Structure 1
C-alpha cells in the first residue's frame, strides 16, 4: 500500500509538471447559483421614480446568503435590498456535482406603483402592490473552495425529497455507497467493514453519540435546523479524529434575518421549530423540538410495551460587530422503552424501565471573521450522556453515565489564491461511572457489569493541521496531520476474588499517543473526468459494537483500534447535471472492537462477558458506484451500488493426537454483505404534487456455524441468508400560503411491501440419532408509517 501511494504522489507531481501540455483542456463547467423562487421586494415608502440596485452575494454550499455587499444603487433602495437578501434561498453553485461556495451579482429593478384608478363614490380602492422584481443575472461568478476527495455532501432540502428518509438529513446515510445496514430500518451501519460504534457523528463540530431515536424514530435534531451534511466513508480530513470508521458531520443553518418556522404532525410524533430575529437583525433566537408517541401504535400489537422519545434545540446568537458573533446552542434527546406488568393477585399494574438513553449538549462559541476568506472559532462544550436499565432478575444492570467538558479552537484561512490552510486543537475531559436506579455507584459485588464500566476519568488532547494546495489548474493536493493523546485513570480499581485473594483487573492508568497522517488528491485527467485518491491512518479507543450514550469500556486505552484507509476513484460529469463516481477501497483494521467476531453470538443479557473486550483483525475491500442528480430537481435520479468483502481473522479449533489446537483462519465478517444496491427516483407532477420511490436490495449475511450440539461458533460458514429488499414511498401535495407560507399533506412509508428479513438461524441438537433441525429466524416487518401534515411560514 505504501508503494502504491508513493507512485501516486509521483504521478501527481508529474501531472503538475506537464500542466502546459494540457492547457487547452478546461475543468468541469461551473453551474452558477440559481434562485429557488422568483423573489420580490416592496417598493420603499417615500421613494420616487425608477431605480436599479446591483448587489454582490456570497452563496455558501447550502444555498444560503452568507454575505451581501452593495455594488451600486442609492438609498432607500439599497436598504430594502440588504434587508431582504439574507432571506433568499439558492440552488448552490456546482462544479460538476460538487457544491461550491460562490459570489454572484444580482440586479434588482425598482418600479414605482401605478397611480390609483379613479373609482365610483363610496367604493373602496383596490390596494396597489409596491414591488420590485429581482432579476437573476450571473455577473462575475467566482468559486471559493473545492470539495475534498472522498466526501459526499447533501443539503437538508435534498433529504426532504428522499423516500423513506422522513425529511431527516441524517437518514441519508443509509443510501450512500460503502454503508451496510445491520438490519433494514435500524440506525446502525457498518461503514467499509467498520462496526457502527466506530463511526463518528458531529453537529457543528460537537460530537454526539447517536443520530436517531432508537424506536425506529426520526433524527435527534429537527430537520429544519440542518443546512447540510458531509459524509466521509474513509480517510476524512485531519480535523476529524478518534474514530476508525466513517464520519458523518452535520451543520446548522445560519441565523435567520426574518421570522420563520415550520411544524409537522404525524401518526408517531409531532414537532416544530421557530426562529425570530431581534436588535434589527443583529441577533436571532431559535427554539425547536419533537415529541414521539409510537407507543400508541405499538400498543395495538403489544399492549404491555410503552415507547416514547423527545428532543429539543435552542439557539441564540448575536453579532457584536460585523466580524464577531457570540452563539449559545443547546440540544438533546431522550428515548424510553418500558414494560407494563400486572400482579396476578392484586391486579395492580406497574411499569418497569427496560431501557432508557439520552444526551444533552450546551455549546458556547465565539466566531470571528478573518478578512475576506478566513474564520476563527473558540468554543466551550458541556455534555451529559446516560443509558441503562432497571433491575433484571437478581443482577443490577445499572445506568452508564458520562459527563464531559471540552474546549476547542478552529481556524481556516487562505494564504494565497491556491493555498488554503486549516488548523485546530481541543481538550476533552470525560468522567464516567455506573449507577443503580437510585443514583448510587455500583460495586463489582453488586453488579458484574461494573467490571467493564468501572468509574474513570479520561482526558484527551488533540491538535491538527492540513493544507490544500492547488499545484496547477489540474492538480490539487491536501496533506494533513493529526496527533492525539489518550489518557485514562480508574477511580475505583475493580478486582476479582480467586482463592480468597484480590486480583486487580487491568491497569489503573494509561496514556497513549496516536499520530494520524492524511493525504488526498484531485487530478483533472480530461474535461469532465477527475481522478480522486485518499489515504489516512486513524486511531480510536475501545468501543462498543453499537454506539450507546454514556457507556464505554473500561478496558485499557493504550491498545487503540487502528485503521489504514485507502481509496482511489474517478468522477465523471454527465449531461443533465448527473455525476457518476466510482471508487475502489481497501481498509485494514488492527485491534478492532467487534463483538460479533469475538463472541460468536452477541451475549444479550451477559454484558460482563470477557469476549466483549477481545480484539480482532479485519479487512474490507470493494468497489463503490454512485450516479447522482440533485434531489431538488423536477426529475431526479439516484443509483448507489457497493460490491465489497469484509473479513475477520478467526481461530479454527481442531484436535491433534495429544491436544486441542487453534489454527488462524480468515473468514467473512458477521455482517458482510456482498451486494448493496439502491435506486431512487422522484418527479414533480405539477400543481405542487411530488412523488418519489426508493428500492433497496442487499444480499444476506453469512450463516453462523454450529456444532453437532447446536452451539454457535465464532466462524461463519460460506453459505448465506436469503437476500432482502424493501420499497419506500413518498407522496406529497403542497399548497402555498401567502408570500412564504406552505402547508403539505405527506404520505411516506418505509418498507411499504412489509417484507421480513432473515437475521439468524436456530439449530437444535441431534436426538435419538436423527438429523439436526435448523430454522431461520425473521424480524419484522420493520415498517414505519409517515402519514401527516407539515407546514412552514
Structure 2
C-alpha cells in the first residue's frame, strides 16, 4: 500500500511539474459570461400554461455550452430548454486577462400563445418565444471536482423510479454500493458495513437518512438542493467514518413564496417557504407523517407502524456579507404490537422498537472577498433508540446527547489555488435507560456492558489545498487529525453468573491522523484520469446505524481503513458521461459482527464475539454511464464487480465447542455482481414514465456440519441471484404561471420477487439425511399512489 501511495505521488508530480507558479496576489474580479445573440425558445407543442425553468450551464473558455443541467422546472419545458441550450454561444467569462470556464444560471419564462381567432381562415398564432434572463454566475475555474465524488440534484432524483422522490435513496443505484436486502436502506460501501457510512446534512452529522424499514428519507425532498456521495477517500472535511460518505445540502433561502405538498397511500407531507423583510430574511417549515400501519394492518392487524419528521429554518442577512441561520430538524419511527394479557384478556400496545433524533443548528456565515466564505456553527443533538422491557431481561433504551462547535473556511488564494480548513469539538453523553427514564445498571441489564454510560469528547481539525500545477493536472492534498477521548461513568466491578466481565480501561484517549490525496489529470480533451488515496479512522460501531447506540468496549482501538482508487472519466456525445474505477480498500480492527459472530445469536449479551474485531479487504471494478435524469430521454447504467473478504477468529458452534480458527472468508454480504439500469422518457402532454431494473448475485450460503448445525464458515455455494423492477408514471397539470399538480404512480418491486436470505436444515430422523430449504423474505414491495403539487 505504501509503495502504491508513493508511486501515485511521483506520477502526479511528474505530470504537473511544468505548471505555472502559484499566484501570490488576490485574484482579479470575475466577469461573467454573456450571450452573444438574443436567443429564443419556442413554446412547446402540447404544453399548457405559464412556466419557469432554471438551467445551469457550463460555458468553456471558447464560449460553448459543454453541459446543461436543469435546476428547476417541469417537462416539456425542460426538454425544450435542454434541446436548445447546446447551440447557444457566449462571450466567455474572464478573470483579469484570462478566459475561464464558468457556470451560469439562466432563468427562462414560458407564456402560452394567445387564443386563436374565431374566423375560419384566421392564421394560427405564433407561439411566443421564452424570455431568457441571467440569474446568477458561479465560477468553476480553480474549483477541483474531487475524484470519486458523484453529485446529483434533488430535482434529478425525483425522476428515478423506486426512489419515491427522495434524493438520499439515490444511493442504492450508485456503483460500489451493495444492499443487505433489496429495499432496505442499509448498504455495504466497498466492503464497509452500513454502520461505517457517514451521513451529513449541511455539515451536520445525523445517525440515519431513512425512516424505519422501507420508509422515505428523513428530510423533505423539496429542501434538498444536491447530494454528494463518496465511496472512498473523501475530502479531509469528512472524518470519523471508515466507509462511504453521503452528504446532503439544503437549498439556499428563497426570495419568493413557494411550497410543495403530497398525499400518498403511506404518508403525507408538505413544505412552505416565505421571504420577509424585503427579501433579507426567509422562513421555511416542512414535515411528513407516515401511516404505513394502515396497510400493514390488512396483513397483520396486531402490528402498528408509524413515522414522522419535521424541518424548520429561518435565515436573515445582517449585511450583504453576513447571514444568521437557525435550522431545526428531526424524525421518529415507531413499531409496536398489540398483545393480549392471558389472565385479564386486556389488550395493550407493546413498543417493539422506537428510534428518533433531533438537531438544532445555529450558524453564522460570512463572505470573504469575492470567492471566500467562513462559517461558525453550534449544534445540539438528541438521539434515542430502544424497546420495552422483554421478559426478565431489561433491553433498555439507548440515549445520546450531543453538543458540537465547528468552524469552516474556504477561499481562493489565486486562479490556481483553493484552500479549505476547519476545526470542531463534539461532546457526546450516552447511557442506557429503562422505559421510566432511569439509568440501567449492569445488574439490571447485561446489555449495559456493551453500551455502558460514558462521556465522549472528540476534537478535530483539517485542511486541504486544491491547486492546479499545470493546465492538465488538478491536485488536492489534505490532512485531518482527530483526538478521540472516552470516559465511562460509575464503573462497578461486574460479576454476572459468577463470571467477571472486563470491559477495558475506564478512560481512553486516542489520536488519529488521516492523510488524503486526490488528482485529476486531463489525458485528452474528453478523457480524464482520476486517482485518490486516503486513510480514515472510526471508533467502534454497530453493524447498522442505530440512533443513540454505540459500542463501549475497546474505544482505544479505532477502526482503520486504507482506501485507494484509480479510474477514467470520458465525456460522450448527447451529454453522457462514462466513468470506470478500480478500487482496493483494506480494513483493520473492523466492527462487523457478521464475520466475528457468524451464526452465534447476536442477542446473547454474554457473547464476546460482538466486540471482537476483524480484518477486511474489498477490491473491484465500478462502471457508471449516466445522463441527467431530467432530460426527455435519459439513461443510467451502474455496475459493480467486487470481492469483499474478512480475516476473523471464527468460533465453531455446531457441537458447542469453542474453537477459534483464523481464516480469510468471504464477507457475509459479499455480492460479486451488482447491476442497475434506469431509463426515463418524456411521453409528451406532460406524461413521463420511468423504469429501473436491478439485479445482483446472491451472497454466500452458510456451511452445515453432519448434524445439521450451521457454522460461521461460508460454503462454496451462494444463494440464487435476485432481481426486481421498479416503475414510475407521472401526469402533470400546470396551473397558472408557477403552480402545478401531478398524479404519480410508483412501485418498488412490481414483479413481487422474493429474496433468499437464509437456509434451514433439520434431521427428520437419525437414519435419514438432513433436509434443507431456503428462507425467503418478502416480497419486499412498495406501491405508492398519490397526488403532489407545488406553487
TM-score of the pair, normalised by structure 2: 0.86
Aligned position for 1:234: 232
Aligned position for 2:12: 12
Give the whole-Å Cα distance in 1 for the aligned partners of 2:107 and 2:748: 45
Give the whole-Å Cα distance in 2 for the aligned partners of 1:90 and 1:384: 44
Aligned position for 1:49: none
Listed one character per residue, the Cα deviations across residues 142-166 of structure 1 (whole Å, up to 9, x for unaligned) are: 5342321010000000100000000
The residue matched to 2:252 in structure 1 has which SS?
coil
Decide whether the 8 Å contact of 2:387 with 2:395 is kept in 1.
Answer: yes
Decide whether the 8 Å contact of 1:618 with 1:646 is kept in 2.
Answer: yes
The residue matched to 1:703 in structure 2 has which SS?
strand
Give the whole-Å Cα distance in 2 for the aligned partners of 1:318 and 1:580: 42
Q: Following TM superposition, by how much is the alpha carbon of 1:607 offset from its aligned partner in structure 2, in angstroms?
A: 4.7
Decide whether the 8 Å contact of 1:334 with 1:358 is kept in 2.
Answer: yes
Q: Equivalences for 1:155-234 in 2 at 5 Å?
A: 155-234=153-232
Q: Following TM superposition, by how much is the alpha carbon of 1:502 offset from its aligned partner in structure 2, in angstroms?
A: 6.4
Give the whole-Å Cα distance in 1 for the aligned partners of 2:41 and 2:206: 32
Aligned position for 2:387: 389
Aligned position for 1:594: 592
The runs of 5 or more residues in structure 1 that have no matched partner are 21-29, 43-59, 66-88, 95-99, 115-130
The residue matched to 1:397 in structure 2 has which SS?
coil
Listed one character per residue, the Cα deviations across residues 480-504 of structure 1 (whole Å, up to 9, x for unaligned) are: 0000000000002153327979665
Give the 3 Å change call, closer, same or farther, for CA 14–501 of structure 1 in structure 2: closer
The residue matched to 2:712 in structure 1 has which SS?
coil
Aligned position for 1:117: none
Listed one character per residue, the Cα deviations across residues 390-420 of structure 1 (whole Å, up to 9, x for unaligned) are: 0112111100000000000000000000000
Moved more, 163-172 or 345-354: 345-354
Listed one character per residue, the Cα deviations across residues 417-467 of structure 1 (whole Å, up to 9, x for unaligned) are: 000000000000000000000101111111110111111000000000000
Q: Following TM superposition, by how much is the alpha carbon of 1:554 offset from its aligned partner in structure 2, in angstroms?
A: 1.1
Q: Equivalences for 1:751-770 in 2 at 5 Å?
A: 751-765=749-763, 767-770=765-768
Aligned position for 1:125: none
Aligned position for 1:791: 789
Moved more, 495-504 or 553-562: 495-504
Give the whole-Å Cα distance in 2 for the aligned partners of 1:263 and 1:321: 33
Decide whether the 8 Å contact of 1:758 with 1:778 is kept in 2.
Answer: yes
Aligned position for 2:424: 426
Give the 3 Å change call, closer, same or farther, for CA 503–743 of structure 1 in structure 2: closer
Give the whole-Å Cα distance in 1 for the aligned partners of 2:135 and 2:183: 43
Give the whole-Å Cα distance in 1 for the aligned partners of 2:678 and 2:165: 15
Decide whether the 8 Å contact of 2:382 with 2:401 is kept in 1.
Answer: yes
The residue matched to 1:395 in structure 2 has which SS?
coil
Matched, 1:377 2:369: no
Aligned position for 1:721: 719
Q: Following TM superposition, by how much is the alpha carbon of 1:17 offset from its aligned partner in structure 2, in angstroms?
A: 3.6
Give the whole-Å Cα distance in 2 for the aligned partners of 1:340 and 1:499: 34
Decide whether the 8 Å contact of 2:316 with 2:323 is kept in 1.
Answer: yes
Listed one character per residue, the Cα deviations across residues 323-378 of structure 1 (whole Å, up to 9, x for unaligned) are: 00000000000000000012355442110000000000000000001111100000
Aligned position for 2:340: 342
Decide whether the 8 Å contact of 2:613 with 2:648 is kept in 1.
Answer: no
Listed one character per residue, the Cα deviations across residues 514-545 of structure 1 (whole Å, up to 9, x for unaligned) are: 00000000000111000000000000000000
Q: Following TM superposition, by how much is the alpha carbon of 1:651 offset from its aligned partner in structure 2, in angstroms?
A: 4.3
Q: Following TM superposition, by how much is the alpha carbon of 1:292 offset from its aligned partner in structure 2, in angstroms?
A: 0.3
Give the 3 Å change call, closer, same or farther, for CA 470–37 of structure 1 in structure 2: farther
Match of 1:143 among 131, 140, 143: 140
Give the 3 Å change call, closer, same or farther, for CA 500–352 of structure 1 in structure 2: closer
Q: Equivalences for 1:385-424 in 2 at 5 Å?
A: 385-424=383-422
Give the 3 Å change call, closer, same or farther, for CA 197–502 of structure 1 in structure 2: closer
Aligned position for 2:692: 694
Aligned position for 2:46: none
Give the 3 Å change call, closer, same or farther, for CA 508–600 of structure 1 in structure 2: same
Give the 3 Å change call, closer, same or farther, for CA 598–285 of structure 1 in structure 2: same
Q: Following TM superposition, by how much is the alpha carbon of 1:764 offset from its aligned partner in structure 2, in angstroms?
A: 1.6
Aligned position for 1:134: 131
Give the whole-Å Cα distance in 1 for the aligned partners of 2:742 and 2:156: 17
Listed one character per residue, the Cα deviations across residues 242-275 of structure 1 (whole Å, up to 9, x for unaligned) are: 0000000000000010100000000000000000
Give the whole-Å Cα distance in 1 for the aligned partners of 2:11 and 2:768: 64
Aligned residues: 719
Listed one character per residue, the Cα deviations across residues 98-126 of structure 1 (whole Å, up to 9, x for unaligned) are: xx9945497999xxxx9xxxxxxxxxxxx
Decide whether the 8 Å contact of 1:708 with 1:765 is kept in 2.
Answer: no
Give the whole-Å Cα distance in 2 for the aligned partners of 1:62 and 1:286: 25
Give the whole-Å Cα distance in 2 for the aligned partners of 1:345 and 1:641: 57
Give the whole-Å Cα distance in 1 for the aligned partners of 2:485 and 2:572: 50
Give the whole-Å Cα distance in 2 for the aligned partners of 1:105 and 1:629: 19
Matched, 1:647 2:641: no
Q: Following TM superposition, by how much is the alpha carbon of 1:635 offset from its aligned partner in structure 2, in angstroms?
A: 0.4
